[in-house]
Structure 1
């Protein structure tokens, strides 16, 4: 498929089918953050990765523990696993162990990389050959990568992946409004061809917090659903609800368990049955706004309220009084049962319904269709 890159249009909306596909991904997809170590130190990095973070890499014994659970995850319904960081390709031993175990269990494997390893065609081809289990390679490239990686790295990586029969996606972060450097990046990528390109606006998270925020577009964020792409298991054994604004945050109310001592399936079940998370995935943040206003706590929100839904989520979950309130309201009385019914109807997921009302459903199948 040829890259078709143009200036992102904020008026373009997802179709209902596209929204459903995005929402369903969280049920069947898990991300593993292998390390915060990275040879790059980009100004916009949402996890503050860099070459000084070598000590954060996932131990090989932990990777082997997770790898041994891939068949159970596949039976549980996990269809895709992604590896990220930092730069996951600096943690090659854990990456190899887990990617091969996942592929052997029938799980589709992807990796997010900056392609700094593709300085020459031979080096790019050699690196790709070392990881036969990784079928999809998401290559991050934008103006902030340029001190370390240029368009030649991307071209070498895409060429090597294409020759090896792998999928190549290019992820571009742009400033909003776009800068001239952003436009040059888009033009350079359009000339490569035969890869998919996905563009997203810069997020003021991590080191990117000091960069300018996206311009307002007049959208109400309260009606937008959370589009998490799934649970994230970090290098240190902690868990995040998403791979975006909360990926490295510990200051939020979502707690799913401890993968270092529990089975990943058990931890993922908690992800799928957390009342607050399922509510914002199915209905958006409108109910949270009602609870906050009813308690007279709206003054704790930033003014103006962020228009981007992930920024709104951060604004609520990083304020302890608001986070405690919405977590408690989502878990009180009959609210979880109502959320479970909504999640089943809107998301097509019965995990929470089975947890709160197991008698009304048929026995759970061994795996998803």
Structure 2
């Protein structure tokens, strides 16, 4: 088994706002101009302090990703939070649709105004381009290169073989390198649940077998909610295995200490969410499972499993087994070189 080492808690996301300049049909959180939810700068500063204290104690060099919605919608908030994060020693990145890059001059001015941000993740795809043309992306990339900022281009697609997606990749390669392009599959969640035409996405009776790197990086929302990843489970209401808690009710330290022992979360990181499907089948809960899963998508597995209260209850029951917990703890140690879970469970000799 080959598994890239992706250390736990080396990046934290802050969802600054649900407001966005556009309303893409595939948006998981249904962001748009009509949304009003926004993180208070006082909360952001306090939560950044808690992240700094915890990661410093653990010897972790962490990054902070500022996302939305569209973080540039409120530039004062973005700048204040980015500056505070940088002062506290974090590597700061921001996710944006680059609506601010209508010209090279505008792109340069905007990127230059955020000295604390070292990495720009620029979103574009056939859906974003209904609102923001490719020339804006080209200008944003130009500005990042000119000013020495790291960047990538995040592209969502129904399939990596989709003709529209392949055509876009060809266009992007005219002004950027292949390794700068990150493709993610669209999930039938949020606005995409009804806006993406039926039959567009592919499904299979068997889940995708791959581990998940994104479950290493929690995201904090304006209301204080903390979810273990930025994928489709963020829209599931109520408690589920990737819902770590709320910072307006408990300090971050308590939530992360509990997360270190969360065997379901770490099974996803080490063995992939398909391991949970196999576990449920082995323990006699196969009848609770959905009939199909999105092809090549690990995110769809988590969303389908954790959207069901009955499946969550079954998972909590079977994951409480000592053998399963030990398997996950040893997996973290062997594949990811993370001894924390073994130490907390007194498994280290």
Q: By the TM > 0.5 criterion, same fold?
A: yes
The answer to whether 1:33 aligns with 2:22 is: no
Residue of structure 1 in register with 2:188 after alignment:
204
| 1:74 Cα deviation after fit | 4.0
The answer to whether 1:320 aligns with 2:309 is: yes
Residue of structure 2 in register with 1:51 after alignment:
33
Cα-to-partner distance string for 1:161-219 (whole Å, 9 max, x where unaligned): 11211012111112327555434322321111368111222222211223245435x79
Helix, strand or coil at the partner of 1:339 = helix
2: CA distance between counterparts of 1:269 and 1:78? 18
Shift of the 179–290 alpha-carbon distance from structure 1 to 2, 3 Å rule, reads closer
| 1:311 Cα deviation after fit | 1.1
Residue of structure 1 in register with 2:259 after alignment:
271
Unaligned runs of 5+ in 2: none
Residue of structure 2 in register with 1:300 after alignment:
288
Query: After the TM superposition, which residues 166-185 of structure 1 pair with which residues of structure 2 at under 5 Å, given as runs?
Result: 166-176=149-159, 178-185=161-168
Query: After the TM superposition, which residues 79-228 of structure 1 pair with which residues of structure 2 at under 5 Å, given as runs?
Result: 79-176=62-159, 178-193=161-176, 196-210=180-194, 211=196, 212-215=199-202, 220-221=206-207, 223-228=209-214
Cα-to-partner distance string for 1:261-318 (whole Å, 9 max, x where unaligned): 5433432333232121112222234553344235543233222344422212222111
2: CA distance between counterparts of 1:331 and 1:113? 40
2: CA distance between counterparts of 1:321 and 1:135? 43
Please give the root-mean-square deviation of Cα atoms over the aligned residues, in Å.
2.6
2: CA distance between counterparts of 1:272 and 1:90? 35
1:240 aligned to 191, 212, 227, which one? Answer: 227
The answer to whether 1:340 aligns with 2:329 is: yes
Unaligned runs of 5+ in 1: 1-14, 362-369
| 1:85 Cα deviation after fit | 1.0
Cα-to-partner distance string for 1:132-162 (whole Å, 9 max, x where unaligned): 1110100000110123211111111111111
Shift of the 221–294 alpha-carbon distance from structure 1 to 2, 3 Å rule, reads closer
Shift of the 297–330 alpha-carbon distance from structure 1 to 2, 3 Å rule, reads closer
Contact 1:36 1:56 in 2 (8 A): yes
Contact 1:222 1:289 in 2 (8 A): no
Say which is worse superposed, 237-246 or 60-69, in terms of deviation. 60-69
**If the length of structure 1 is used for normalisation, what is the TM-score?**
0.83
| 1:70 Cα deviation after fit | 4.8
| 1:127 Cα deviation after fit | 1.5
2: CA distance between counterparts of 1:82 and 1:26? 15
**If the length of structure 2 is used for normalisation, what is the TM-score?**
0.87
